[in-house]
Structure 1
Amino acid sequence: MSDVIKKVAKSLHEINIPFFFINRTVNKIKKISNQYNTKYISLEKFLSSPDNFSCLFSSTSSDNYIFDKIFLEKLTINGSQLSDKLFIDMSLTYDIDPKACDILGIKRIGLDQINNEAKKNHSSRLNESAIAREIIDKALLDLPEVYAERMYAPIFSILQDRYHYTAQEGLKKLMRKELKGIGSKEKDAIKAWCTSLAKRFAHIPSVGIRGLIHKGPEGSLDAFLEGVDEDFAKELKSVLSLQLEQDDKVIK
């Protein structure tokens, strides 16, 4: 008895699917039949008077068809619905007549079909792996930029706040002096305009900082911070230092 038959028997037994053994020499299958508490039948008896079955699994080294057209036609004579049966042929030389199966409309799965499916699945897995590799490579290339954006995001936020604060403070002075007599609608319009203008002005250094981070030489950001007023530089450095500490904790 082939190893593949033994493996199939073990698997069927583990999931409680009933089965029986067929062999030319019944003495060769008595032991394993007793092991699984199932019946056994000689090949000669099965070919002449087949028991009812839903699936036939065959794996021998025979040079001739064991389950030929005569046997398959006999199943139809006995009233069996061949469309409901599955024939699995694991023999290199074919145990089950493939042409007869085609003629009678029997579903037969052979080694050729199994190998072809395996090759298709292998090719599919290779394609999926290539796509996954491409996605991973792109993510790795983008990682420094994503990390930099995350790390320096507080600086961009502070720039926005600083420009907004400067604009609002300047506007308050104008409201107390030059624009003291204007109406509430005019004041609201000027406030909205100042807020929008502050955002636009903040955008200019933000773009410059991004350029330094992504393309500038090492130390570019430090050089930029040295160029702004001392209090503002301290605020930016403090936020940046805190962000680096948080990132370090996450990495650990």
Structure 2
Amino acid sequence: MWALALLGVSQQRGGTEALQAWSTWLQQQPGWPRELLCEVVPITTCNRAELVLALAEGASLEEVRRTLIPPSLPRGYAFAGEGALEHLCRVAASLDSLNPGEDQIMQQVRQAFEAARQAGTVGPLTSFAFQQALRIAKRVRREIPLAPAHTSLFSLARPEFEARLPRPARVAVVGAGEMGRLAARSLAASPDLELWLVNRTEAKARELALTLGARYMTLEAFLENPPDLSGLVTATRVPNLIGAQFLRRQPNLRAIVDLGLPPNVDPAAVAGHPVALIDLNWMQRLGQARRQRLQADLARAEQIVLEELDQALADWSERAMGAAIVQMRETYRQTLQETVGELLEPELVQRLAHRFAHFPVKGLRGLARKHGVEAAQAFLLEAGLTGRPGRPDWEETHE
């Protein structure tokens, strides 16, 4: 576990500008230095940009941080070993989200791992870390009622957004990706609301519109000749998509929710228009208020994470010790064979070797759980055993 590391920024711990800078850098990164990193899984969402890493043997976290992160980027945060695994578990369980309890983040974490797996940048350590994080997130979701199903970041902004709309109202959702689809499905259930779906490709907008009973148009047509709107939700990757020219043609627009990263709405243009811009900074304040209301449930969820984390670390130590335990038993077998092998059957020698190794193996496992695999490795080396614990090599499933 010593080789696991996590670097990144989030909206809560860095702000919008730092998050945007890191997200842009991750999207443009052509590759990773193999002399420093064995495994890499990037996670980019509207709320965070992070790298989950397995360091190469001999590489330090500070060396990786210094070499990998350009000086122009905000420094961000860094976690190593158990701290990195704990942070990943909290992210997957949506305890570190702007909107605590949103189940969308679990899907995003799973998708990030699958994308890295297909790119060939995962391995035993990151596989274990993500498998445990997703397992723990499922338990938190199952036992602690932090939020209803299908809660998203838009769910946090929706009350503020709808409170500013007249009735009836016409609302457009720009972007038919995951964030836009969740926002559109949420708004489609609202009475007295005419919903428009806008996307760069018409087919994707039409498909979702038919499902929700909404109207649709292409992004190009929307920007040239938009309908008269009361509300607007944006969820694209296009910076400053909505500017002063668009807003001048929307005299009745009262509220915008900007879910985009980079931001889709030019804040300077909004300054001269009577519209409420609910951006990530505004949503962060809403999230903090909601976090205060959920203190008791969040404390219970944190306790589950810590309990499960202890079990996960014990499991990792057990698996990492596998090769060393085999070597210890073999050493006992060889010693018995050389000493009394002529007097005993091979099967009995094998059984005695396992019997004699039982208590040292039990102690070795306890040493690894309490003080880490490195302490167990030092014991083995001092004892003259050639087997050494390391990273286990096994396949995990990610359900």
The structure with the greater share of residues assigned to helix is 1
**TM-score, structure 2 length as denominator?**
0.28
Q: Give 1 or 2 for the bigger CA radius of gyration.
A: 1
TM-score, L = length of structure 1: 0.44
Query: Which protein has greater RCO, CA pairs closer than 8 Å, 6+ apart?
Result: 2
